[in-house]
Chain A
Amino acid sequence: MERDPLRKRLHAWFQTQGWTPFPFQEETWDHYLSGRSGLIHAPTGLGKTYAAWGGPLLQWMEQGRECNDSRGSKGDCLATPRNGRGAEPIRVLWITPLRALAADTVFSLQQVVEDLGLPWTVGLRTGDTSSSVKQRQRKRMPSALVTTPESLSLLLSYPDWRRMFKTVECVVVDEWHELMGTKRGVQTELALTRLRAFRGDKLRIWGLSATLGNLGVAMDCLLGKQHDGVMVRGVYNKKINIETLIPEEMDNFPWSGHLGIRLLPQVIACIEKAGTTLVFTNTRSQTEVWFQAILAERPDWAGLIAAHHGSIEKEIRDAVERDLDSGKIKAVVCTSSLDLGVDFTPVDQVIQIGSPKGIARLMQRAGRSGHQPGATSQIVGVPTNALELIEFAAARDAMKRGAIEAREPIRRPLDVLVQHIVSCALGGGFDDTALYEEVRRSFAYADLTREEWNWAMDFNRQGGKVLRAYPEYSRIRMSEADHYVLDDRNLAQRHRLSIGTITSDSEVLVRLQGGRALGSVEESFISRLRPGDTFNFAGRKLELIRLRSMTATVKVAKRHKGVVPSWQGGRSPLSTELAEAVRLKLEQGIERADPDPEMEAAKEILRIQNRWSQLPHSDYFLVEHTRVRNGTHICIFTFAGRLVNEGLAALAAFRLSQTVTISLRLTPNDYGFSLMTNKPFEIEVTQLREMMKSADLLDDLMACMNTAELAKRQFREIARVAGLVMQGYPGRQKTNRQLQTSSSLLFEVFERYDPENLLLTQAKREILERQLELTRLRKVIQHLEQLPLVLVKTERLTPLAFPLWADQIGHNITSESRTDRIQAMLAKLEQTAEEAD
């Protein structure tokens, strides 16, 4: 340390903040100075930002010293520049996945350079940045630019991006665990590969990640095919204490559901006791329900508690964050919108309503309390049904074992590649072979074949095989031998508007009549309401006045019988690790001497399960068959996680419907899946074995996927990323009406006229690999095949089967014709309508 007076300045800065640098921060700085790249992992809020930021600053000071030594005037170099003039040209790109985080990050980074008096500027560039600022940045980049993956890709699509970035020497990717395993992550990988190819050895890349089960792979994705990255382990001494609220009366505690507010009084007592509380929920609708319920019970807390989720307008969200920070409000009910955040003020207590869903996620949320290193994070679990009691106990065990979720990387998504190729053509053009080689240096496309590459090129050049007749209708064109460009202004503009991989349902802006915007909801929700209908949103009861051009005008409702919006993607699955932990928990049995309080509370329910059927166990494979009032309910317990169960349900139903004429409703959850038919139906063990065999797995899955139309749903994202459909924006009138179309219609058009299109193949592959986790599914089914099958015919729905019965939200599969099915549905609807009259 003696050798390095510059580092002393950084130490001194830490001291002014009342901190001492952690050893891992020093370690990172050393690695940085020796030219290495790497990945830093640690729980939230424990100095990862400064670990990554210190390196480039130290490096600059070192170089600055050299330059000063030669010039002999130290003062010039360290003077703070005015208006960014004379400031250091761009050195650092800081990529963050959330726009909301970007401003916080800028603030943190800026503070250091200002306090140290360095002539650095820190700029922000996201979709929200004004165009004048963007213009200025393109002329002259700040010394450090904080941006999102989308904005970075957009910058790389300008012909002069090399000029803009010619002095970049460090890219920091914040919250890499959020990006990895998503198409946004792949988009980031491609951008990094571009920058690496341009800057060569001069570029260092550092990722910041929360805990993951596969950190090595996470680093490979970040740094590309060949790297000598270092893994830096951050501070992990934070203790997490999970306490679960136990219902006083288990007798009428529900077996399923997730909107129940039975534990409301205890939750209120918890909030009362603590100074500040974050109440995390799993869905936006749960946020609205709990916020309203707490307020109804404690009207005196009006103004002291707030609701916060991603659909609420940013200004309102910011105000909530500020008020919590300054202690003006006591509690915030929120979804994952507050999961992340660099410098979010720690609260005294975190409450998790409903299933923890995942181990890493629970740890992350817990980390919002007791931020100081060494402090204990306190999280209070609030189960909304009996199984969630067990989930909290299981999460605690898994945390002790260190069984943290892994993030599986995505391989070779052609839609992202198609988009990237167009961006590169736009960003100054490229040589075919050079770009192919460059792309293959990324982790995601390391195995890209020349055939796949050629297909993606052909698709952009002439629409694959289908367009061969009209060479002039192309997105990219060859300007000279092997060199491709995009020089059509309209195409360029449209492409830049559609860069990115985030797909959402069209969003409708919610605006108070004659007043401000409250946020946005999905079009599919709001289009079902009629003027005069009321709904809960942003912690208010609202009445719809009209819906026009993507804006819903509302007023505060007087009377109230509201609908709670249910957002897509609101029901995230339990992680496979947690599902497995639950099975282990059940296997420990119910008659242990020292049970967890949760298991003690759930004991009676587990006894019922044991009495009416059996408890699941890894020594056998449990199936329950139950005659219910309106049909037959078959429950197959796999403990394989929801995604795998979704695939298994489709497969089992398809195979059964091949041999029997039957209509089935499929419902998967994390523990298993159910097949329900509205007729009496006896199932035999041999049939079940046939349904759950590993032979012909792929063929049968492919066949039943067409029936279930899964691929069509998946195609929505692909069509958007590959630039086939344009996304609508809230409050903005749809432009290009002539070119509006739906992805499902496109899917049909391709299926009919271009069935060999690789994007269709990708949709199928994505369903198999990502949505159904084929690899895992195969393992599960091969494992179940080895186990003895226990088929229990029960009189009543067991506690484990009940949630599947109550939750029938899955799709239908049938070997009856569509017409018969519709007629059956209509007959039933008629009957219901008559009963209602």
Chain B
Amino acid sequence: MFVFPLNEDVDAFPLKVAGETLHLLADKLCYWEDRNALILADLHLGKGTDFQKAGIPLPDEDTPHDLARLSRWIDHFQASQVIIVGDLFHGLSAATDWVLPGLTTWRATQGEVRLTLVPGNHDRVAKAVAEELGLELTAEVVTMGPLSFSHYEPAGEADPFTISGHLHPAVRIKEDGGPGMTLPAFIFNDHRLVLPAFGSFTGSAKVLPHPQDRVFALVEGGLLEINPKLCR
């Protein structure tokens, strides 16, 4: 089940899709080996600050924390591209003086990498900051090689194979009478892969996988495949 550790504390699991090799990483993102690209969804950058702006006093260290995580993976693979399948930003504060300087500073440290955003429903500031952050904005659905990318899960049997986010998927397993556990997960089948939310201030939403899905849940820095029939 645990295939090869990329470093000491994070698991990965390889999938063959349309002739391409994807590695699901237990830090809630995916590595596309053939293109040397990282694929991730739902960072919701600036969320803490969005709450503060509304007068709700929350810490806002989520954004620097998540950018640091992303940097670590870019460095690890020496990745040439980062594809974000939507909701890179949370609200409007990403374009403000409170968040944007941090983002540009971070971008400067990752000057080489291509940053591609398939826009999601939250990315209202994307256009405004795209140039400053060297962000390539795509259409709502975009195809690269044999794979397709979209924020939203495709309906029915997608062709080509589609990678999406948006759902912040998590599965719930429960013993009779027990309290049960909800675990963020990758949801995979022959037609699509739904990524868990990468952002650390995002939460998750319970999904009921189809019986033919494969479910890779995230537990303590590890990936654990779970029979979809056991999720409820």
Contacts and interface: CB of A to CB of B under 8 A. Distances in A.
A274 B49 CA distance: 64
A809 B177 contact: yes
Nearest to B217: A822
B6 interface: no
Interface residues of B, number: 40
A466 B59 contact: yes
Nearest to B122: A738
B53 interface: yes
Contact of B59 (A745, A753, A811): A753
B160 interface: no
A463 B52 CA distance: 8
Contact of B219 (A723, A738, A819): A819
A741 interface: yes
B59 A470 contact: no
A113 B7 CA distance: 81
Given A463-B58, A464-B57, A750-B59, A819 B224 contact: yes
A473 interface: yes
Given A749-B48, A752-B200, A822-B173, 11 more contacts: A466-B57, A741-B201, A749-B200, A750-B58, A750-B59, A752-B61, A812-B178, A822-B183, A826-B173, A826-B226, A826-B227
8 contacts: A467-B60, A491-B55, A749-B200, A752-B200, A753-B62, A808-B177, A817-B220, A826-B173
A830 B230 contact: yes
A754 interface: yes
B59 A749 contact: yes
**Interface residue tally of chain A, by bracket?**
35 or more
A818 interface: yes
A749 B220 contact: no
B91 A470 contact: no
The 6 closest A-B pairs by CB, nearest first: A463-B57, A753-B59, A753-B61, A473-B52, A475-B55, A466-B59
Dominant SS among interface residues on chain B: loop
Interface string B147-179: 000000000000000000000000001010111
Contact of A833 (B91, B181, B220, B229): B229
B98 interface: yes
Contacts of B52: 463, 467, 470, 473
A825 interface: yes
A211 B173 CA distance: 46
A232 B58 CA distance: 48
B176 to A, nearest CB: 8
Contacts of B57: 459-460, 462-464, 466-467, 475, 724
A750 B59 CA distance: 7
A449 interface: no
B106 interface: no
A490 B55 CA distance: 10
Interface in A790-817: 808-809, 811-812, 817
B56 interface: yes
A829 interface: yes
A739 interface: yes
A713 to B, nearest CB: 11
Interface string A461-484: 011101101100111000000000
A823 interface: yes
A250 to B, nearest CB: 28
B56 A823 contact: no
Contacts of A462: 57
Given A742-B203, A749-B48, A754 B54 contact: no
Contacts of B227: 826, 829-830, 833
Nearest to A811: B179
A473 B53 contact: yes
B35 to A, nearest CB: 31
Given A466-B60, A723-B56, A828-B175, A745 B220 contact: no
B222 interface: yes
A746 B230 contact: no
Interface in B120-169: none
B50 interface: yes
A488 interface: yes
A742 B201 CA distance: 10
B8 to A, nearest CB: 16
A751 to B, nearest CB: 10
